[in-house]
Amino acid sequence: MGVQEPELLKIYTLGKFQVFKGDKNLTKKYPKSRRPWLLFQFFVTNLGKALPSEIVVETLWPGSFYENPQHSLRNLIYRLRQMLGDKGSRERYIIQTQGNYLFNTRSNYWCDFEEMERLSEKGLSLKDNDPQKVELLEKAYQLYGGEFLPSRPYEEWTVNLRLYCQRLFFKVVVELCSLYEEKEQWKKIISLCENALEFEPFEENLHLNYIRALINCEQKAKAKNHFHQTNSLFQNELGVELGFDIDEIINNKNNHEGKGLPSPFGNFQEILEEREEGKGAFLCDSENFRMIYQLEERRAERNIRKSSLASLQLIGPKGKEITEQELLKKGRVLQKTLLSSLRKGDVVCPNGAGEFFLLIVDVPPEKVDKILNRVAAKYYENSPDEELRINVKHRPLFQGGTI
């Protein structure tokens, strides 16, 4: 008689955290085991990575005093193994090797963000005319139920994977919109974007696809209403306007009636191409930055407009030295992100390896955080395995303002 295969361990992390073993909901069975589940989430976030016990304790419980931290960790892992039901089984989900702990990726498990990544990568690699492409991307889209580990929004160790999953989801949605548009499946685009905008309300391309689909479904009034509401949202929350105009989209659609499908972005794409050369923030040296800063400070004192001074600095993990060469290399990526993410009127000034001063112009101080958070998110998207973190400081330009 052969050895029976262990029951599948199913791990859900997108929009919720749940763990099932067969048909048993383990998170519901052990609702008060917060510390073991926190430990499990940390292992799942670092699938397949060997983690020294000291790093685990310092990361999850910083500042806590333990006479014997390794002993305390062993006790937690013992409890976690009991909860997962791998005590005494022929395989374990949490294994130890050379003093390090890691999640056993050879065990019988399934994880939603891993499956979403697998389906997305396979679907995006196929040609548009491959019938499997839409099917794979739709399955990946359906797996995204929201942010990665939403109950841990302030834990630094969740940030990179959370941003990666968000950007992957957005990439899948945009690709599906393009595929649906080729077949004039406007209602599918409307449904897709309405759901996606609940997760990504500040993604301009989603609003553009949604509005175009509404117009092609002869829902112009709804499209105009959505445009004006969204434009107000962008102005209030980010201090910027949408980069496209509703009337141009409507006119473009009317001009193409009976002449085949318009391009995915119509006249908007042509406008972007015309502005390509001069778009983005202004890059300057420290001397010019000082002059611009002094001018903006005078304007702020006379209440002509509200602006802020900000600094962004790349810093490494605690206890790890980062070479100047590495900082310069990563600084180039951050500089490119800043120039493409900020507006023409904003100013960027490099200040040594991996550090920048910024002037965020004509934006209320309370909106600056959101702008800089979006810059950081795009930087992490371009460097998904990034160990460096961005240290952000900013203050409004008025007398007595402090960082």
Fold of 282-396: Alpha-Beta Plaits (3.30.70)
Query: CB of 114 within 8 A of CB of 124?
Result: no
> What is the percent of the chain with per-residue pLDDT over 70, rounded to a whole number?
84
Instruction: Tell me the average pLDDT of the chain.
Output: 82
Does CATH place domain 112-278 in 3.40.630.10?
no
Q: pLDDT of 171-194, one tens digit each?
A: 999 999 999 999 999 999 999 999
Q: Is 361 exposed, middle or buried, given 0-12, 13-18 or 19+ CB atoms closer than 10 A?
A: buried
Phi-psi region of 218 (alpha: psi -120 to 50; beta: other; left: phi over 0): left
Domain limits of the chain?
32-107, 112-278, 282-396
Pairing of strands 355-360, 282-283: unpaired
Does CATH place domain 32-107 in 1.10.10.10?
yes
Tell me the mean pLDDT in the region 264-268: 38
Q: What is the number of H-type helices and E-type strands within the chain?
A: 15, 12
Predicted confidence band of residue 262 (pLDDT cuts 50, 70, 90): very low
Tell me the mean pLDDT in the region 209-228: 93
Pairing of strands 347-350, 282-283: parallel
Q: Is 65 exposed, middle or buried, given 0-12, 13-18 or 19+ CB atoms closer than 10 A?
A: exposed
Query: Cα-flanking dihedrals φ and ψ of residue 34, to 5°?
Result: -65, -45
Distance CA 269, CA 246 (A): 14
pLDDT of residue 156: 83
> What is the percent of the chain with per-residue pLDDT over 90, rounded to a whole number?
36
Among candidate residues 306, 300, 310, the one with its CA nearest the CA of residue 351: 310
